[in-house]
Amino acid sequence: MHLPPGDEAILFLDCFATSWLAMTGLVDLLITLDCYHMNRIGAGIIMFLMIAQPACMAASIAKSAPQRSPALRLSDCYALALKQSETIAIKAELIKEAEGRFLQALGAALPHISFSSTDTQNDAEGLTSSSSSLALSKKDSEKKFVFKQTLFSGFKEFAGISGSGSERKQRVKEKLRAEQLLLADVADAFYLLIEQQEDLKALKKIETALKGRVRDLKDRAQLGRSRRSEVVNTQAQVYGVEAEIELVKSREALARQLLEFLTGEPVYKVADEGSAFPSLEDEQYYISKANLRPDVLAAWEAWRVAEKRLAAASSDFLPTVTAEGNYYAQRTTSLKNAKWDAQLKVDLPIFKGTETFGAVGEANAKAHQTRLEFLRAKRSAAQDIRDSIVNFRASCARTNTLKKALYAAGMNYHLQKEDYRLSLVNNLDVLQAIQALQDAKRNFIHALYETKRLFWQLRAAVGDSVFGGLL
């Protein structure tokens, strides 16, 4: 339970007041009792309460202090992003929309049953003057159950059912692809934040080293062993590093805001799981999986949907056969003794202008368009995989080389410091070594976390959204 500052103050005052009352009560008791031993006992109790009172206050403040949330891993950030993402929620609603259209198409193929009630008021004067035997009363009433079943309509209903099922599969694949792309975006923001944090740590270490050089040079300048210009030159580098620190702080804040935007939660600390990169298979192995990527499968399902809509539009050239039956619960007309009737209706289209031709042409063009989109999605997926593999492999090689450069720069810096202590090199050589170490360290950090980001982009390109190794 976390208490606001006002409650903390009240709790502190209450604890203090209780201790004070206890002490004053004991003092009165000691004054009343004229006993040396009782005075010693009372004094000990007072000292105990005086010590216990700050402890009570500290315990109350400790209970009310907010607990810092644990460091978020990439999997934690992704789980939060799945709950927060409006794009994923929209894709889920599109799936429900496709399910609704499937139920509508299925309902068109099933029989329809309804209840109909009709009350007719007849003209009273017409009943007396009419010679027809059909009008027998001033008011006719008819209540019936209507059964209607479409027997044939050019297979339009079956095309609608099949097309709606394909549309649902399309929406499911699109949602899965959106989740994969979201994982790549979260990983990009996650490692970008860690990169800026590590870059900031490296700059602060360089700043500490340079400030140490300034102090050392000032001491040597007082002894006449260094020039004043060397101190000023080193101080200028310190200012340059401080300016770079401020720039990196702003980049860190932007990266943190981006990650918080994706997760919808405040991000206090992140932790890299530090898993090693798996060894890659041959390039053709991953390209062969391009046809199984969710967006490619979604494009194929969209092509099927368009073909089914073309079939539904073409069915308007064919006749429609409908069976209909009526069961009468109440009937006051001339056929009141007949409890049921049935009819078979055949509707053959002869001429409807160019309406059907236009609908078929439009559906045919749409089917051809979705086919081309499917072919383009296949080629784009394969090219995306090729580019991601090339970028990831090149980044891995660059990171390994920069790791060696960082080790060499660190050795050079320590050797230059030792040589400077022995007066074998001047301060400029040491500053150059520090600058080389700074560049090597920062380049390695940027390359390392760029490789991590490219790794998750490769997984998204392949179509892998499961934590672990590549497919």
Q: Could you report the per-residue pLDDT of 81-116, keeping only the tens digit for each?
A: 999 988 889 988 989 888 888 888 888 778 888 888
pLDDT in tens, 1-29: 333 444 443 334 344 444 443 444 443 43
The CA distance from 231 to 241, in Å, is 15
The pLDDT, as a whole number, for residue 55 is 45
The pLDDT, as a whole number, for residue 44 is 46
Q: If you average pLDDT over residues 218-236, what whole number do you get?
A: 77
CB 160 within 8 A of CB 311: no
pLDDT in tens, 345-392: 888 888 877 888 888 999 999 999 999 999 999 999 999 999 999 999
Task: Give the three-state DSSP class for 293.
Answer: coil
The pLDDT, as a whole number, for residue 406 is 93
Neighbouring residues of 8: CB distance < 8 A, sequence distance ≥ 6: 60, 61, 64
The pLDDT, as a whole number, for residue 150 is 83
43 band by pLDDT with thresholds 50, 70 and 90: very low
- Is 60 exceeded by the pLDDT of residue 46? no
The pLDDT, as a whole number, for residue 34 is 41
Q: What is the mean pLDDT of the chain?
A: 79
Neighbouring residues of 217: CB distance < 8 A, sequence distance ≥ 6: 226, 230, 231, 234, 427
- Is 80 exceeded by the pLDDT of residue 217? no
Q: If you average pLDDT over residues 387-412, what whole number do you get?
A: 93
The pLDDT, as a whole number, for residue 361 is 92
At residue 201's C-alpha, the angle toward residues 195 and 205, to 5°, is: 145
Strands, E assignment, 153-182? none
The pLDDT, as a whole number, for residue 120 is 80
CB atoms within 10 A of CB 155: 15
The pLDDT, as a whole number, for residue 128 is 58
pLDDT in tens, 458-470: 999 998 865 544 4
The pLDDT, as a whole number, for residue 465 is 65
Residue 189 region by backbone torsions, left for phi larger than 0, else alpha for psi between -120 and 50, else beta: alpha
Length of the chain: 471
Domain boundaries, the chain: 5-64
Q: Which residue has the tokens 């804040």?
A: 253
125 band by pLDDT with thresholds 50, 70 and 90: low
Q: If you average pLDDT over residues 222-235, what whole number do you get?
A: 76
Neighbouring residues of 168: CB distance < 8 A, sequence distance ≥ 6: 95, 98, 99, 102
The pLDDT, as a whole number, for residue 41 is 41
The pLDDT, as a whole number, for residue 247 is 94
- Is 60 exceeded by the pLDDT of residue 77? yes
The pLDDT, as a whole number, for residue 366 is 93
CB 437 within 8 A of CB 416: no
Q: If you average pLDDT over residues 237-252, what whole number do you get?
A: 92
Task: Give the three-state DSSP class for 130.
Answer: coil
The pLDDT, as a whole number, for residue 57 is 47
H helix or E strand, kind and range, residue 120: strand 112-121
The CA distance from 333 to 328, in Å, is 11
Selection from 305, 21, 329, 313 nearest residue 145 by Cα = 329
pTM: 0.73
